[in-house]
Amino acid sequence: MSGRDLHSGSCLCGGVAFTVRGPLPPVVACHCTQCRRTSGHVWAATTVPDERFELITASTLCWYRSSEAVERGFCGHCGASLFWRPLGSGTIYVAGGALDGAMDLHVGEHWFTGDAGDYYCPEGPPPAQVIAPPSGLDCSCLCGAVRFGLPGPAGAITACHCTQCRKLSGHYSASFDAEEETVRWQSRSALAEYETPGGGRRGFCFRCGSSLWFRSARGEFSVEAGSVVGPTGGRLAEHIFVADKGDYYVIDDGLPQSDGA
């Protein structure tokens, strides 16, 4: 079997690892509220028949039933968004960010573009702000077990394409800076934290796998834009660590890009 026909993938911590065999169809980028809430921005995946998908390690794999017909797979240790599976379909959607190395793929479709966040467009430059920026932001995981508020609007939002953010989000991340002391916790019964290799900590819901926030080793705090319920009042402003971006998508919004932070 050629290298193009065998692909490996994993979560960030390595608790979940897998392989997929055979040619892969184009990637689908999904902008629905559920995918944005769980990934923290936008989720993107390719489809694999069950018989060509193999779990190598699954010690930390968790599944969340997000509807009667669908369940979502994530790592319960690091919170990486990995899989989406229509029950009984015989197929599994695998996150592009979870796959390792070059894949020779491209984004072929955008789903639920009407649910895209107010801070970006599925393709092209971010939209002009046409509503009054919110003075407060309500944030929540998908299942509602973790909820918090903070002052708004979100302001400048940064897209990060580093390997760590791509592994955790399933595509790439988008977040905005916030003062952690202004966060008003409403519920954190299912809040988990994962310490990254660089000494930062990522907050996620251990029940549904939603990405929520990041605290750097220096104490800087940022919130995932996809966790905001309703308008953010923010605008995507830049792309960082683009040298690590996936080969299956292009950055076409004309915003500033840098290879580092």
pLDDT of res. 123: 92
The pLDDT score that the predictor gives to residue 130 is 65
> Taking residues 233-248, what's their average pLDDT?
96
Stretch among 2-16, 74-88, 166-180, 196-210 having the lowest mean pLDDT: 2-16
Number of other CB atoms surrounding residue 185 within 10 Å: 10
E strand segments, the chain: 6-10, 16-21, 27-30, 43-49, 53-58, 61-65, 70-75, 81-86, 91-95, 107-111, 136-140, 146-151, 156-160, 173-178, 184-188, 191-195, 201-205, 211-215, 221-224, 235-240
Pairing label, strands 211-215, 201-205: antiparallel
Judge if 3-111 and 133-244 fold alike in CATH terms.
yes
Does the pLDDT of residue 2 top 50, yes or no?
no
133-244: which CATH topology?
Answer: 2.170.150
Sign of the four-CA dihedral 63, 100, 96, 104: negative
Percent of the chain with pLDDT over 70: 98
Could you tell me the pLDDT band of residue 1, with boundaries at 50, 70 and 90? very low
Average pLDDT over residues 95-117: 94
Interstrand relation of 184-188 and 146-151 (parallel, antiparallel or unpaired): antiparallel
Residue spans per domain, the chain: 3-111, 133-244
Specify the CATH number for 3-111; select among 1.10.10.10, 3.30.230.10, 2.60.120.10, 2.170.150.70.
2.170.150.70
Q: Is the pLDDT of residue 158 over 90?
A: yes
Q: Tokens for 121, please give them.
A: 């467009």
CA dihedral 131, 135, 140, 142 (to 10 degrees): -10
Confidence class of residue 104 from pLDDT cuts 50, 70 and 90?
A: confident
For the segment 12-42, what is each residue's pLDDT rounded down to a tens digit?
999 999 999 989 999 999 999 999 999 999 9
Q: Round the average pLDDT of the chain to a whole number and report it.
A: 95
Question: What integer pLDDT is reported at residue 129 of this predicted model?
Answer: 72
What pTM, to 2 d.p., does this model score? 0.95
Residue in this structure with the two tokens 């907050």, named with its chain if needed: 203
* Closest residue by Cα to residue 222 from 237, 242, 201, 206: 201
User: In terms of residues, how long is the chain?
Assistant: 261
